[in-house]
Homo-oligomer: A and B are copies of this chain.
């Protein structure tokens, strides 16, 4: 409010001059270590008041440049278009701030190039630590960070060169498949394989989910044909397409579907609505991921809700403890039906 020079910002030197003291005193007062410097309470008071009046704000770039640690923590994340990543990011910010860290986030749009580009940029901004969420090549990022002496933690998708926190994809998929299989048997009396759709066949999570999917079928004594597993990618159109192709090549559609994300589910549901198939009754669905509106879509959907609070607790546990081993923490998802 009292600013006379809107162009030039107030510095600690300006404040020092106004207070009739030195820059180092101002600096000490303003970041709380005036106790160890034993600065007089009145001087501290005066400086604080002045800073307030002048609308002073530290220049973090200068501060970070000088300090040893930046207290900036970075996260890269694939997308913001679903509840899973949305809550990861929200929780990340909250917990980072709780610890006095400044969170910076970059969304990579699932683009592997952008992923490492983003990691590099974060290193340029001197992050103390980088969380690689759902990275396609986490080890590449881990190497980059190692080179700069920066800690990395993998989230959602594991890597071999940094600690990882992921969902128990196998266990979740196993249980989810069991339930959908049971639902199919109960309602339709059928004992046939489900159709697995969505995800990237090359990523660890999808592979583990397929394994759970297979084992649940094996338990039930149901054979699963290779063609019943289509890890076609995450995009809705790809899932929709996979459904279309399935319908084209088979006479009787499966009574149950395992959908590998809410994003893929968008495409599957659209196809179900508009293709005219399944007009004789909705198939039973299992979705690996949670969304409140999906929960309201009907009583034929089971979801595996990844436990984001626990996952972030684990991530920050690793950060706080400074643990150095590259182990993988697996957090069980919460499996349930409507709501």
**Copies of this chain, count:** 2
Please pick, from B61, B94, B107, the residue contacting A65 in the complex, using a CB distance under 8 A. B61
Query: Is A87 an interface residue when CB atoms closer than 8 A count as contact?
Result: yes
Q: In the complex the two chains form, what is the Cα distance from A311 to B322 in whole Å?
A: 43
Q: How far is the CB of A192 from chain B (nearest CB, A)?
A: 25
Contact B124 A109 (CB under 8 A): no
The range of chain A's interface size is: 35 or more
Residues of B within 8 A of A244 (CB): none
Query: Is A59 an interface residue when CB atoms closer than 8 A count as contact?
Result: yes
Residues of B within 8 A of A266 (CB): 292-293
A70 nearest in chain B by CB position: B61
Please pick, from B61, B80, B236, the residue contacting A61 in the complex, using a CB distance under 8 A. B61
Query: Is A7 an interface residue when CB atoms closer than 8 A count as contact?
Result: yes
Residues of B within 8 A of A64 (CB): 61
Residues of B within 8 A of A339 (CB): 270
A62 nearest in chain B by CB position: B65
Which listed segment binds B: A19-27, A32-40, A141-149?
A: A141-149
Q: How far is the CB of A314 from chain B (nearest CB, A)?
A: 20
13 further A-B pairs in the complex, CB-CB below 8 A; given A90-B109, A102-B121, A273-B296: A6-B149, A9-B148, A55-B148, A59-B126, A60-B124, A60-B126, A61-B70, A62-B65, A65-B65, A80-B89, A81-B86, A269-B293, A293-B297
